[in-house]
């Protein structure tokens, strides 16, 4: 049994706590949170503390707090010979300043409040400084997910920026689609099956092979018709992405 302490009271902390609670190989022995967790936790019997001095012995300490706070927070942790990891996609392993062995335990997913996440299909990207620690993280990650990847800090940085494109920016394009529908009195519901299908296509097809549409065909007539229907702001995005698909210098 691997004893784990989770440090944090936000969504990621609570989702991990709930996930570990259900596994057999990992025992959640303590939950540290500066204030009372905002999200419902599955079992009130797990010991909690708001004082770092009261941290108990464990094999693994998981810092699940906001990216900006990780570096400073870690300075207060004196856990010699223990393993401390953070859960951030954008923070390097070296930004952990604790007296401890260090690693990363990064779940690549948008983690929302109030939704009981099933981690099975969520990729967990792990990194450690030595093989023993790596093996421990691998065991912990495999106890909740079927998709565990070895990713170093450099790779993780690029994964994080790629995720901004396929998640944050994609969602913004959904918003523009929604805006166009609202302006023209069309139900955005009509587009939802297309949105799902577009995402699913990528599972079996490379994005290059899946590309269709007027830009791909360099269909100037349709492109001009489309631009007529858009606001200035929408036009700028339409033109930049169209030129990028066509392969023009942008």
Q: Pick from 153, 202, 218, 220: which binds its own copies (CB under 8 A)?
A: 202
Q: Which is nearer to its own copies, 97 or 157 (CB)?
A: 157
**Shortest distance, position 43 Cβ to its own copies, whole Å:** 26
d(CA 247, CA 121): 35
The answer to whether 90 contacts its own copies (rule: CB under 8 A) is: yes
End-to-end Cα separation, the chain, in angstroms: 55
- Single out the residue of 25, 121, 135, 220 in contact with its own copies (rule: CB under 8 A): 121
Spatial CB neighbours of 104, under 8 Å, sequence gap ≥ 6 = 85, 86, 87, 88, 91, 93, 125, 126, 127, 128, 151, 153, 156
Rank residues 75 and 236 by Cβ distance to its own copies and give the closer one: 236
Binders of its own copies among residues 3 to 42 (CB under 8 A) are: none
Instruction: Tell me: does residue 52 bind its own copies (CB under 8 A).
Output: no
Nearest to 244 by CA among 196, 197, 211: 211
Report helix, strand or coil for 33. coil
List the interface residues with its own copies, window 160-179 (CB under 8 A). 160-178
Candidates 63, 114, 157, 220: give the one binding its own copies (CB under 8 A).
157
- Judged by CB under 8 A, the residue of 34, 39, 122, 139 near its own copies is 122
User: What Cα–Cα distance (Å) separates residue 31 from each residue in 42, 49, 115, 199?
Assistant: 12, 6, 19, 36
Report the residue from 114, 134, 200, 218 that binds its own copies according to the rule CB under 8 A.
Answer: 200
Q: Exposure pattern of 124-141 as b/e (b: 16+ CB <10 Å)?
A: bbbbbeeeebbebbbebb
Q: Any contact of residue 211 with its own copies (CB under 8 A)? A: yes
CB of 167 to its own copies, least distance (A): 5
Q: How far is the CB of 154 from its own copies (least distance, A)?
A: 7
């Amino acid at each position: 049994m691997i004893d784990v302490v989770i440090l944090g009271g936000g969504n990621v902390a609570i989702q991990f706590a709930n996930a570990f609670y259900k596994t057999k190989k990992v025992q959640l022995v303590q939950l540290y949170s500066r204030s009372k967790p905002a999200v419902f936790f599955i079992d009130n019997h797990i010991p909690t503390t708001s004082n770092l001095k009261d941290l108990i012995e464990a094999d693994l300490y998981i810092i699940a707090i906001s990216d900006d706070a990780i570096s400073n927070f870690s300075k207060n942790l004196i856990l010699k010979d223990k393993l401390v990891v953070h859960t951030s996609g954008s923070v390097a392993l070296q930004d952990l300043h604790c007296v401890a062995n260090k690693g990363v335990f990064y779940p690549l997913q948008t983690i929302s409040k109030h939704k009981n996440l099933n981690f099975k299909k969520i990729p967990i990207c792990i990194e450690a400084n030595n093989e023993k620690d790596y093996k421990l993280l691998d065991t912990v990650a495999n106890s909740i997910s079927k998709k565990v990847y070895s990713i170093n800090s450099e790779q993780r940085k690029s994964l994080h920026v790629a995720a901004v494109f396929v998640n944050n920016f994609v969602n913004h394009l959904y918003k523009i689609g929604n805006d166009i529908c609202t302006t023209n009195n069309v139900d955005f519901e009509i587009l939802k099956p297309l949105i799902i299908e577009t995402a699913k296509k990528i599972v079996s097809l490379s994005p290059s092979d899946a590309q269709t549409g007027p830009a791909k065909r360099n269909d100037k007539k349709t492109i001009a018709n489309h631009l007529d229907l858009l606001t200035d702001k929408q036009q700028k995005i339409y033109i930049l992405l169209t030129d990028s698909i066509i392969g023009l210098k942008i």
